[in-house]
Amino acid sequence: MAKAVYRDRGAVGALLDEYEKALGELSALVSTLTQEELVTVVDKETRDADCRSIQTILTHVVSAGYYYATAVMQKHGKQQELKEKKLRASAAEYLEDLSDMFAFNEKLFDDFPNLQLENHKEEDKILTLWGQRFDVEQIYEHAIVHILRHRRQIERFLIKLRINK
């Protein structure tokens, strides 16, 4: 196992390290995908359009990753448009998107070096698109677990796809 390299930035460094680790695990999985596995609709029953295929899951993950940083920027006065969701045609394109999305999140902490991670006042928290209020630390903890949950979902999709071959 390679020696881990940790950011020397306290809680921000820990959040970024764990986010990057979760994305690394997801990227390792994505790098094994065939074109057919990427685009095959696995869950035909779901009403969630983001969870029908590995392609739609990855599109959602990338979009959500940009959303977290954008929401923080907007809460702190920076005018930032949400990045448009884009279905990609290959695993390689998703690997690039995941890398770019992480760099966008990492840049947030460079652009706002004094960002307060914890905030106990509800009115100072970020109101998410799904109606919850999070401080910066909570939104990044959610971002990390979001990656883990969807990595697990993709692993389960791959079991179904590879068993049925």
Digit-coded pLDDT (tens) for 63-120 = 999 999 999 999 999 998 999 999 999 999 999 999 999 999 999 999 999 999 999 9
pTM to 2 decimals? 0.94
> Does any domain span residue 119?
yes
2 assigned to some structural domain: no
CA distances from 122 to 15, 113, 126 (A): 22, 22, 8
- Give the pLDDT confidence score for residue 153 in this predicted structure: 98
Task: Report the alpha-carbon angle 83-129-111, nearest 5.
Answer: 50
Instruction: Tell me the pLDDT band of 165, cut-offs 50, 70 and 90.
Output: low
Tell me what the pLDDT averaged over the chain comes to. Answer: 94
**CB burial readout 52-75, b (16+ within 10 A) else e:** bbbbbbbbbbbbbbbbbbbbbbeb
Which CATH number fits the domain that encloses residue 41?
1.20.120.450
Residue 118 within any structural domain of the chain? yes
Do 79 and 64 contact (CB within 8 A), yes or no? no
- Cα angle vertex 49, ends 82, 80, to 5°? 5
Q: Which domain holds residue 35?
A: 10-163
CB burial of 135-164 (b: ≥16 within 10 Å; e: otherwise) equals bbbbbbbbbbebbeebbebbeebbeebeee
Specify the pLDDT at position 164: 64
- Residue 5 located in a structural domain: no
Within a domain: 131: yes
Regarding beta strands 126-127 and 133-134, do their DSSP bridges make them parallel or antiparallel, or are they unpaired? antiparallel
Query: Helix, strand, or coil here: 1?
Result: coil
Backbone angles phi, psi at 134, to 5 degrees: -130, 145
Q: How many domains does the chain have?
A: 1
Amino acid letter at 8? D
Across the range 33-60, mean pLDDT stands at: 97
